[in-house]
């Protein structure tokens, strides 16, 4: 297995385009299209919010009814097409119809994604313009596609990984958008991952679910969960490499996990107003689920995030957040270390600042020097079991408030 690189050269059989359809006022790419030359097996993971956007409802239905001959994914920005009732569902279908007509395929082969303001109807004239322009300009500019799904993101986020096997080489590549409203259970995040490997549908879906659980579901920007979260995985088999045996599936899973974690972390790094990237290793909790819950509670704590922003090693807020997670926790058994940089391991190094229910006699200057770094790792050893999970999160800054105080204007 290779390593993830932050770019995509090409993935056999896929063509893409990111264009300006007139949705964004500044002329930036605002509509994107990903097309496979041949039918794809496709899997999806969607928001658990009870308020689901029209494109989510449509894609869920298509993956239920027609998961083995997907050909295209179209994404628009500016309007989330959420809370738009029957009109919204009609517009989502109409968008897919436009793509199908342009590509001479059938509508059931098209998936759609939307991101932007909730409660506004899709401007169908601009969607039509986006379909027209993108379908006429298909190529291999994956960076433009990643740019075409951005909202308050500051940069395109994309990555790829190549896997060499005895039967040949295949690639897994993906794009993601995030920024605000990112939380456990995926929040306003759209991601499309494609591969030219060949997989059976059940294997593809279980690989995606497993990867999402270890990546997109383990990041916290602001604790909110959106109406539109979607992660899609399309496999077109054009590499001729079949992934079917346990060993082949393990290799695929490892590569997919690495890519999904890279993309998920990119979302945190590019979160709204983020100045610090924080890795939270929760180890020796009663179970993995407990470790995850503790990490997510810490990551979503506004008080803790404010302290990260202020470069304050306020371990008290971290321990207090752990104490209110709905899970077994005993401060007297717990210890907390902090280190500069990123380290995902139960034995991550660092300065121990809390142990046995009390702060250690660490020097505040030492902690402050670590906290001043742009990337920090906290390792919370719960001391009561063997469950572990790593959560990636960030600080909350003045800029976050500015962006979200006036988003719709």
Catalytic annotation, residues = 188
Question: In whole angstroms, how close is the CB of 117 to a copy of itself at the nearest point?
Answer: 7
- Residues with Cβ within 8 Å of residue 247, at least 6 apart in sequence: none
Q: What mask, x for binding a copy of itself by CB under 8 A, covers residues 29 to 68?
A: -------------------xxxx-----------------
Q: Among residue numbers 66 through 95, which ones bind a copy of itself (CB under 8 A)? A: 80, 82-85, 87-88
Helix or strand holding residue 211 (H, E): helix 201-213
Beta bridge partners of 390: 281
Distance CA(308)–CA(288), nearest Å, equals 25
Q: 351-355 and 335-340 as β-strands: parallel, antiparallel, unpaired?
A: antiparallel
CB half-sphere exposure, 258, CA atoms < 13 A: 19
Query: Which span (34-42, 59-67, 171-179, 325-333) binds a copy of itself, by CB under 8 A?
Result: 325-333
Per the CB < 8 A criterion, the answer to whether 279 and 344 are in contact is yes
Q: Phi and psi of 352, rounded to 5°? A: -75, 125
Question: In whole angstroms, how close is the CB of 244 to a copy of itself at the nearest point?
Answer: 37
What six digits make up the tokens of 45? 């993971």
Distance CA(293)–CA(282), nearest Å, equals 9
Q: Which is nearer to a copy of itself, 163 or 319 (CB)?
A: 319
223 binds a copy of itself (CB under 8 A): yes
Question: In whole angstroms, how close is the CB of 183 to a copy of itself at the nearest point?
Answer: 8
Per the CB < 8 A criterion, the answer to whether 331 and 314 are in contact is no
Asked whether the CA dihedral 127, 6, 47, 398 is positive or negative, the reply is negative
Per the CB < 8 A criterion, the answer to whether 2 and 173 are in contact is no
Q: Which is nearer to a copy of itself, 120 or 165 (CB)?
A: 120
276 binds a copy of itself (CB under 8 A): no
104 binds a copy of itself (CB under 8 A): no
Q: Among residue numbers 350 through 369, which ones bind a copy of itself (CB under 8 A)? A: 354, 356-359
Q: Which is nearer to a copy of itself, 46 or 170 (CB)?
A: 46
Q: Which of 170, 262, 329, 392 binds a copy of itself (CB under 8 A)?
A: 329
Q: Which is nearer to a copy of itself, 27 or 405 (CB)?
A: 405
Question: In whole angstroms, how close is the CB of 13 to a copy of itself at the nearest point?
Answer: 36
Q: Among residue numbers 227 through 256, which ones bind a copy of itself (CB under 8 A)? A: 227
293 binds a copy of itself (CB under 8 A): no
332 binds a copy of itself (CB under 8 A): yes
405 binds a copy of itself (CB under 8 A): yes
Question: In whole angstroms, how close is the CB of 372 to a copy of itself at the nearest point?
Answer: 13
CA–chain centroid gap for 127, Å, is 24
380 binds a copy of itself (CB under 8 A): no
DSSP label at residue 136: H
Q: Among residue numbers 131 through 190, which ones bind a copy of itself (CB under 8 A)? A: 180-181, 185
Three-class secondary structure of residue 212 per DSSP: helix
DSSP 256-313: HHHHHHHHHHHHHHTSTT---EEEEEEEEESSHHHHHHHHHHHHH-HHHHHHHHTT--
Question: In whole angstroms, how close is the CB of 242 to a copy of itself at the nearest point?
Answer: 39
Q: Which is nearer to a copy of itself, 247 or 303 (CB)?
A: 303
Three-class secondary structure of residue 385 per DSSP: coil
320 binds a copy of itself (CB under 8 A): yes
Residues 84, 44, 195, 239: what is their CA dihedral angle, to the nearest 10 degrees? -110
* Residues in contact with a copy of itself by the rule CB under 8 A: 48-51, 80, 82-85, 87-88, 117-120, 180-181, 185, 222-227, 300-304, 306-307, 309-310, 312, 314-317, 319-324, 328-332, 354, 356-359, 396-398, 400-409
């Amino acid at each position: 297995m290779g390593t993830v690189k932050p770019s995509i050269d090409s993935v056999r059989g896929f063509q893409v385009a990111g264009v300006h359809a007139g949705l964004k006022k500044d002329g930036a790419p605002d509509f994107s299209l990903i097309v496979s030359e041949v039918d794809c097996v496709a899997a999806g993971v969607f928001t658990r919010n009870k308020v689901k956007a029209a494109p989510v409802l449509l894609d869920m239905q298509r993956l239920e009814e027609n998961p083995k001959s997907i050909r295209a994914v179209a994404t628009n920005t500016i309007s989330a097409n959420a809370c738009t009732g029957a009109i919204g569902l009609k517009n989502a279908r109409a968008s897919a119809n436009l793509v199908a007509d342009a590509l001479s395929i059938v509508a059931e082969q098209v998936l759609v994604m939307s991101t932007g303001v909730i409660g506004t109807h899709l401007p169908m004239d601009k969607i039509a313009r986006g379909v027209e322009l993108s379908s006429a300009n298909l190529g291999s500019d994956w960076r433009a596609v990643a740019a075409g799904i951005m909202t308050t993101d500051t940069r395109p986020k994309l990555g790829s990984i190549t896997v060499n096997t005895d039967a040949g080489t295949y690639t897994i590549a993906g794009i993601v958008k995030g920024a605000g409203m990112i939380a456990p259970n995926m929040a306003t995040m759209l991601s499309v991952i494609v591969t030219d490997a060949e997989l059976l549908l059940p294997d593809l879906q279980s690989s995606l679910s497993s990867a999402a659980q270890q990546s997109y579901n383990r990041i916290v920007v602001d604790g909110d969960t959106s109406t539109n979260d979607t992660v899609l995985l399309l496999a077109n088999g054009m590499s001729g490499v079949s992934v079917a045996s346990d060993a082949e599936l393990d290799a695929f899973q490892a590569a997919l996990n690495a890519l999904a974690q890279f993309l998920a972390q990119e979302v945190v790094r590019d979160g709204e107003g983020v100045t610090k990237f924080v890795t939270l290793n929760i180890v020796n909790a009663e179970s993995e689920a407990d470790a995850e819950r503790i990490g997510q509670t810490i990551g979503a704590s506004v008080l803790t995030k404010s302290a990260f922003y202020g470069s304050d090693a306020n371990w008290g807020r971290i321990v207090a957040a752990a104490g209110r997670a709905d899970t077994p926790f005993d401060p007297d058994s717990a210890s907390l270390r902090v280190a500069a940089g990123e380290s995902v391991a139960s034995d991550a190094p660092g300065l121990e600042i809390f142990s046995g229910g009390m702060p250690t006699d660490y020097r505040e200057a030492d902690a402050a020097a670590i906290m001043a770094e742009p990337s920090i790792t906290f390792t919370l050893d719960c001391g009561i079991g063997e469950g572990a999970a790593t959560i990636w999160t960030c600080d909350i800054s003045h800029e976050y408030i500015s962006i979200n105080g006036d988003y719709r204007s």
